[in-house]
Amino acid sequence: MKNLFAGRLESPGSDSDGMDRVHERSIIVPTNAMALADSFEKKEQSWSVSSQVPTDLSIQVQDVTFTVHKYPLVSKCGYIGHLELQPSISNFGYELKFENFPGGSETFEIILKFCYGLPLDLNPTNIAPLRCASEFLEMSEEFEEGNLISKTEAYLSFIILSSWKDTINVLKSCENLSPWAENLQIVRRCCDLIAWKASRQNASTGDAVNEEGWWYEDVATLHIDHYMRIITAIRAKGVKPDIVGKSIMHYAVRWLPGLDLKLEGLRGYGYGKTELHFSILSGRKEDEGIGHRKEQKNIIESLVSLLPPQHDSVPCKFLLKMLKMAMVYCASPALISELEKRAGITLESANVNDLLLPTYKSEDQVKTTKLAEKCTMHNIDAVQRIIEYYLMHQQEQQQMQPMPGKSFVAKLLDNYLAEIARDPNLSVTKFQVLAESLAENARMCDDGLYRAIDTYLQTHPSLSEHERKRLCKIMNCERLSLDACMHAAKNERLPVRTVIQVLFAEQVKMRTSLQGKEQIASGNSSEQESNQSATKTEITVLKEELEITVLKEELETVKAKMAELQRDYSELQHEYDKVNNKKKSISGWSINWKKIRRSSLLHKKGDIEETEAEQRQSIPLDCNRSSERRLSLS
C-alpha cells in the first residue's frame, strides 16, 4: 500500500502486514485529478470548481448544489460509477440528487476535496460521518488503492484503541448517522470500549482520573440510546450497583431539568392556585413541543429500566423525584407502579418534602374550574400505595414487631398528614384512611398525629360534630405527651368527648410522674409495688368516672336536642294551622260562587243585568257567613 498516507504520524506497534499504525493527515492523489481544479468557490447554497475544463456534473445534497467534474468522482466512488446519470434540463452535463446522505453537505464537501486530491484532515468529529459516507459511495480499494473506506477505517480503529475523550466524541457524532453507524459497528465498538474502561478499577489511559465516578460526566453527555448500551455493558461486567446507580442519577440531573424542583409544602403558596399543579413541578416550558415531551418521557422510562434490582442502589429521594417526573410526562402505569414499589421498599430514607407529589392535571383540566375545586393539591393516592408497598415489604421480611424503621415511617406519615391537612379539598375519609394505614403499635407517640388532626380541623371549620368525632378517634389520647395533653385540653376545635379523654390522660400522666419521683426518692421496693397497685386502682376509678362524665355529657346533649326538636315541632304545628284555616276560607268562597253561577243560568236574557247586581250583593254576605262559621269552629 505504497503512498497510502502522506504527512503521517507514526505510533508504536504494527499490524501483521508490517504497516505502521498512523495518524493520517493528508493523502496523495493522481496528478490529472489535481489538474482539473484550480480553486473551489462556495457561495451560500452553491459549491463549484474553478477550472479551465468545463464542469459536467451537478449534485444536490440537502440544500446545497455542487457543480463538479464527473471524472474525479467516478474514479473513486463506485456508487456514482454504477448510476445511469440523467442529462441536465439546462443541457449542462448531468445532474444527481442524494437523499439522506450520511453526514450531510459538510461531509460531502470533504469527500469532494479528497477526490480532487486535496489534503484530508481527519478528526474525532468527522471520522464517523466520513466512514459512513465512504461506505454509501462505495469508495473501496477496488477503484483506487488507499481509498477513503480503508483510510477512515484505519483512523477509526486507531482512535478507538487510544483515547477516552476521542471515543466519546466519535460516539456523539454517531447520533445522526443511523443506521449506517450501527451497521458498520462504530457504535458497538465505541460503547464496548467505554464500558471496558469505565469498569476497570485502575484506568491506564492518561486522560482518565483514577478514582470512582471519574467517567460519570463524560458518559452523561451521550444520547440516551448510547448511554443505555454502555450502562448495560457496565452492569454485565459486574460493576457495583451503587456505582451504576450514581451514574444514572448523574445522567438524570443533566437531562431532566425539572428533577430538582422542590415543593416545600403549601405554606408559601396558598390554595386555589390551580396553576401550581404544574407550573412549579414540571419544569416544562410553555413553548415545549410534543417532540421534546416524548424525548423526556423516553429518557425517564429508559433510566428506570436501567436501575439495578438491588434496593440500595439508589436512594428513595431519587426514586420519588423520578416518580414526579414520570407523572408529569405521562409515563406508562407499569413504570409508575415500579417506582412506587421501589420507593415503598426504601421509604425509611425519605423525608416529608420527598413525599409531596403534586397532582398533575392537563391544561384542559386546569381550565375546568369545577374539576380544579374537587382535586386535591397533592397526589395522596400515590402516597397511599407507597405506604402499602412499604407494609408489604415489612411483612415479607417478617418484621412485625415495632422497629426503629417503623417508628420513623410513622413520624414521616404524621408530618405528611400535617402538610396535606391544609388542603381544603381533602376529604375526611382520605385523611382517615391514610392515617390508619399503619398499625396501632407503629406509633410510639401520637403527638404528630394530633398536630395533623388539629391542622385539619382548623382548615375545615365547617365539619359536623360526627365528622370531628370520627377524625379524633384515629388518635390515642393515652399516647399523647404531657405538653400535647395540656394543649388539647384547651382546644375548642376538639369534640367534648375527646377533651375529656385528654384530661383523663393528662391527670394519669401527672400522677404517674409524681409517684415516679417519690419512688426514686424513697428507694423502697415494697413501697413501690404498693404505690403501683394503688395507681392502677386510681386509674380504674378515673376511667369509670370518665365514662360516667361522658355519658352525662352526651345525655345533656340529647336532652338539648330533644328540646330544640320540640320547639321546632310546635312552630310547625302553628304554621300548619294557619295554612289549614286559609284553605277553608278559599273553599267557602268557591262553593258560593258556584251556587251563584247555577242560579244565573235559570234567568232569561232580559234579566241578566238584574241578576248580576244580586250576585254582587250576595258575595259579601256569604263571606261574612263564612267568617262567622270559622269563628264558631275555633
- Tens digit of each residue's pLDDT (9 = 90 or more) over 299-355: 999 999 999 999 889 999 999 999 999 999 999 999 999 999 999 999 999 999 999
Q: What is the 3-state secondary structure (H, E, C) of 176-237?
A: CCCCHHHHCCHHHHHHHHHHHHHHCCCCCCCCCCCCCCCCHHHHCCCCHHHHHHHHHHHHHC
| pLDDT interval class at 7 (50, 70, 90) | very low
Mean pLDDT of 20-35: 42
The residue with cell 482539473 is: 36
Q: Determine if the peptide bond prior to 179 is cis (ω within 30°).
A: yes
How many angstroms separate the CA atoms of 425 and 447, rounded?
24
What residues form DSSP beta bridges with 39?
Answer: 50
SS3 for 444? coil
SS3 for 39? strand
Q: With pLDDT > 90 as the criterion, what percentage of the chain qualifies? A: 45
How many angstroms separate the CA atoms of 407 and 411, rounded?
6
Sheet holding 39-43, edge to edge: 39-43, 46-50, 64-68, 57-61, 94-98, 86-87
**Residue 439: CB atoms within 10 Å:** 13
Q: What is the pLDDT of residue 364?
A: 57
Q: What are phi and psi of 235, to 5 degrees?
A: -60, -40
Amino acid at 402: P
Mean pLDDT, rounded, of the chain: 78
Q: What is the pLDDT of residue 204?
A: 44
Mean pLDDT of 67-82: 89
Question: Is 266 in contact with 418 (CB distance < 8 Å)?
Answer: no
How many angstroms separate the CA atoms of 608 and 602, rounded?
10
Count of positions (residues) in the chain: 634
Question: Is 265 in contact with 355 (CB distance < 8 Å)?
Answer: no
Residue 490 class from Cβ within 10 Å (0-12 exposed, 13-18 middle, 19+ buried)?
exposed
Q: What are phi and psi of 256, to 5 degrees?
A: -115, 90
Cell digits for 151? 483510510
Question: Is 36 in contact with 53 (CB distance < 8 Å)?
Answer: yes
What residues form DSSP beta bridges with 86?
Answer: 95
How many angstroms separate the CA atoms of 233 and 17, rounded?
32
What residues form DSSP beta bridges with 20?
Answer: 14
SS3 for 22? strand
Q: What is the pLDDT of residue 11?
A: 33
Question: What own/partner pairs with CB < 8 Å and gap ≥ 24 does 496-500 have?
Answer: 496/553, 496/557, 497/469, 497/550, 497/553, 497/554, 498/469, 498/472, 500/546, 500/549, 500/550, 500/553
Residues 6+ apart with CB under 8 A from 303: 224, 248, 251, 252, 322
Mean pLDDT of 513-533: 56
How many angstroms separate the CA atoms of 342 and 310, rounded?
10
Assess whether pLDDT exceeds 60 at residue 567.
Answer: yes
Cell digits for 10? 507514526
Amino acid at 234: I
Residues 6+ apart with CB under 8 A from 74: 80, 81
SS3 for 173? helix
Predicted confidence (pLDDT) per residue in 448-473, tens digit = 999 999 999 999 999 999 999 999 99
| Of 519, 456, 449, the residue nearest 477 (C-alpha) | 449
The residue with cell 474525532 is: 124
Mean pLDDT of 496-507: 86
How far, CA to CA in Å, does 285 sit from each of 164, 256, 260? 35, 13, 15
Residues 6+ apart with CB under 8 A from 571: none
Question: Is 120 in contact with 114 (CB distance < 8 Å)?
Answer: yes
| Of 174, 171, 129, 168, the residue nearest 148 (C-alpha) | 129
How far, CA to CA in Å, does 464 sit from each of 104, 375, 436? 72, 22, 21
SS3 for 557? helix
| Of 341, 340, 313, 198, the residue nearest 245 (C-alpha) | 313
How many angstroms separate the CA atoms of 299 and 228, rounded?
10
Of 250-259, 441-450, 562-571, 580-589, which gets the smallest average pLDDT?
A: 580-589
Question: Is 463 in contact with 493 (CB distance < 8 Å)?
Answer: no
**Residue 464: CB atoms within 10 Å:** 9
Hey, what's the torsion of the CAs at 385, 386, 389, 391, to 10 degrees? -100
Question: Is 59 in contact with 65 (CB distance < 8 Å)?
Answer: yes
Residues 6+ apart with CB under 8 A from 430: 376, 380
The residue with cell 451560500 is: 44
| pLDDT interval class at 556 (50, 70, 90) | confident
Predicted confidence (pLDDT) per residue in 590-613, tens digit = 555 455 455 444 444 444 455 444
SS3 for 91? coil
Q: Which residue has the higher pLDDT, 610 or 621?
A: 610
How is residue 6 annotated by DSSP? B
Assess whether pLDDT exceeds 50 at residue 286.
Answer: no
Assess whether pLDDT exceeds 80 at residue 630.
Answer: no
| pLDDT interval class at 31 (50, 70, 90) | very low
Predicted confidence (pLDDT) per residue in 103-145, tens digit = 999 999 999 999 988 889 999 999 999 999 999 999 999 988 8
Q: What is the pLDDT of residue 374?
A: 64
**Residue 115: CB atoms within 10 Å:** 26
Hey, what's the torsion of the CAs at 463, 464, 465, 471, to 10 degrees? -50
Q: What is the pLDDT of residue 271?
A: 45
Cell digits for 4? 497510502
Q: What is the 3-state secondary structure (H, E, C) of 343-388?
A: HHHCHHHCCHHHHCCECCCCHHHHHCHHHHHHCCCECHHHHHHHHH
| Of 522, 481, 530, the residue nearest 505 (C-alpha) | 481
Predicted confidence (pLDDT) per residue in 569-586, tens digit = 888 888 888 888 776 666
Predicted confidence (pLDDT) per residue in 203-223, tens digit = 444 444 457 789 999 999 999
